[in-house]
Chains A and B, each alone.
Chain A
Amino acid sequence: MTAAPLIEVEDLRIDLDDGARHVAAVEGVSFRIDRGETFGLVGESGCGKSITALALIGLLRRPLSVAAGAIRFEGREIQGLSAAEQRALRGNRIAMIFQEPMTALNPVSPVGRQIAEMFVLHKGKSWREANQLAVEALANVRVPAPERRVKDYPHQLSGGMRQRVMIAIALACDPDLLIADEPTTALDVTVQAEIIELMRNLCAERGTAILMISHDLGLVANVCRRVGVMYAGRIVEERGSDDIFRACAHPYTQGLVDSLPRLGSRAALGRSRLREIAGVVPAIADFPSGCRFNPRCAQATEICRTTAPETTWLGAGGLVRCHHHA
């Protein structure tokens, strides 16, 4: 018997209903994350990664809504929880950090106070205790001179420092799951590596599971043990991170792999641009019938244009959805 997963998403469908149209933005998405595990969702911008994450914490708002499927946190259905029960989970058991460290912090509140608020809100601490804990939390994310830094306002900090503060806030209550939605996209490359390293180490120390979301397959595969590749609202392939590079099965995944800069190809970079997947992710209303990747797929045949591919199970818990998978 296997232990119950920390979080389990089953056949999730998210509908977009703005009065004029009613379409599925995300469809048939399933994955599970065990305690302390690291799982990644990858795909180009607009594939539905962020709204999937919002559904996980019960924060989809009109015009989006969960239309079908189940999201279970420790076996309990999120949709079935009261508003207060959901709030008690958010920030406490499930935390999240975002792409924009510039805007995710309140500009008129000292960062220490914003960290301390988490202890007051979720752990019932007094402000006195909470302020003390905030200094520790800042020290934990390797911010130098934390006793002084707690008094700083967000605009006094660099982008990297702000993202550290965001991590301190997110991990303040020792959550079981950290959702990181493009956590470093807005930062420059050297800072990016530091932040990812910090996040990974802190979560590993505490046994915090990570759901990492990014358009960058290299980053996700680096952090996560397993990766789900999303395209136009569906998971098209799910594999162990190593298998992705060794033998990915879906043409879209192959496209993502090919567009990664490879070690040793730096010199070539100046001359030839990276290979990119031609075309763009379709808008929700324009999803093609059949396999949604078919207009951009070199291997597409007639069946791809008419019939959505079924799930094919691969070895080691992997799966792919493609009529002509490798």
Chain B
Amino acid sequence: MKLGTSAIIGGTLFALAIFVGLFAPWLAHTDPVMGANLMNAEEPPSWTWWFGTDAQGRDIYSRVVHGARISLTVGIVSQLVNSVIGVTLGLTAGYWGGWWDDVVNGLTNLMLAIPSLIFALAIMAVLGPGLTSLLIALGLTNWSFTCRIARASTLSLKSQGYVQAARVLGYGDLRIMITQLLPNMVGPIIVIGTLGMGGAVLAEASLSFLGLGIRPPYPSWGSMLSEARDQITTAPWLSVFPGLAIFLTVLGLNLLGDGLRDVLDPQSRSRRA
């Protein structure tokens, strides 16, 4: 298994983001919410204030660092929920076929027809802002690609000798799905999941920017951008650093996803062979 350059660069960026998120309390200079001090309001970036400060004198660097926690939690958890839903639906639909397959296909098509951000927006409008609502809204609206891939993989794997053999050896349906089918489709599922995680980070930023996600004063990258909106010309650092954090994280996840695809996805592997 050889990782390409894009997987390595992407992996490094993502690992860096995870590291920052995990160790945020130690990396931050001040408390991201309470550390306001009007004496230091709107300082541009300097040796003391690496990323500058905002109108209330809060350290932007500390807020970006803490924002990583929220943005990554939303990205990872919501994508995990999506993956679990997508795999469960796609695998069972492909395996059992029949009316269940029709139902899942209908649902998938519906999800694909509605832009997932619009759908998430609607859910957020009902549930109200907050971390839990974000996780629910983003976790329920982006499983259709995973579902498609899981279903297609199941259909092609179902005729494999080892799946037939498992049936002959007395495996039940559930055991076949878990031991024979699932492990043989993890590659493409991980690829889709990685790309989806990038999408979720962006979606969180968008929803928070619109005031529907994480609300100020809590620092998610999206909510920081939202707050910085009015000072984009007077204090550009308020927008630049959270924007850069989003950009690098999403870029990292996309590079990682593309790089993993080359290694893990058997289809693109055979295409190259």
Contact = CB atoms under 8 A, between A and B. Distances in A.
Interface of A: 57, 59, 87-92, 95-96, 98, 100, 102-109, 117-118, 121-122, 166, 169-170
Contacts of B165: 98, 104-105, 166
Contact of A98 (B161, B171, B183): B161
B170 A121 contact: yes
Interface stretch (B40-48, B131-139, B172-180, B239-247): B172-180
A122 B184 CA distance: 24
Interface string B31-54: 000000000000000000000000
B160 interface: yes
30 contacts: A57-B168, A59-B168, A87-B170, A89-B170, A90-B169, A91-B168, A91-B169, A91-B171, A92-B170, A95-B169, A98-B168, A103-B160, A104-B161, A104-B162, A105-B162, A105-B165, A106-B166, A106-B179, A106-B180, A106-B183, A107-B184, A108-B183, A109-B179, A109-B183, A117-B171, A118-B169, A121-B170, A121-B171, A166-B165, A170-B169
Contact of A87 (B161, B162, B172, B184): B172
Contacts of B166: 106
Contacts of B164: 104
A103 B161 contact: yes
A90 B184 contact: no
Given A106-B184, A109-B179, A169 B169 contact: yes
Contact of A103 (B162, B171, B179, B183): B162
Contacts, number: 58
A121 B175 contact: yes
Interface of B: 160-162, 164-172, 175, 179-180, 183-184
Contacts of B170: 87-92, 121-122
Contacts of B179: 106, 109, 117
A109 B172 CA distance: 18
Nearest to A105: B162
Contacts of A88: 170
B162 A106 contact: yes
The 7 closest A-B pairs by CB, nearest first: A103-B161, A91-B170, A91-B169, A90-B170, A104-B165, A104-B161, A106-B162
A169 B161 CA distance: 15
Q: Give the interface centre of A92, A109, A122, A166 by most chain B CB atoms within 10 Å.
A: A109
Contacts of A90: 167-170
Nearest to B182: A108
B147 to A, nearest CB: 21
A103 B175 CA distance: 18
A134 to B, nearest CB: 14
A104 B175 CA distance: 16
A6 to B, nearest CB: 18
Contacts of B161: 98, 100, 102-104
Given A105-B162, A117-B171, 4 more contacts: A88-B170, A91-B169, A92-B170, A106-B183
Contacts of A100: 161
B176 to A, nearest CB: 10
Contacts of A107: 162, 184
A105 B165 CA distance: 8
Q: Give the interface centre of B170, B171, B183 by most chain A CB atoms within 10 Å.
A: B170
B111 to A, nearest CB: 29
B169 A108 contact: no
A293 to B, nearest CB: 31
Contacts of B180: 106
A187 B39 CA distance: 83
A122 B180 CA distance: 17
A92 B170 CA distance: 7
Nearest to A166: B165
Q: Give the interface centre of A89, A95, A106, A169 by most chain B CB atoms within 10 Å.
A: A106
Contacts of A92: 170
B184 to A, nearest CB: 6
A43 to B, nearest CB: 21
A96 B162 CA distance: 12
A122 to B, nearest CB: 6
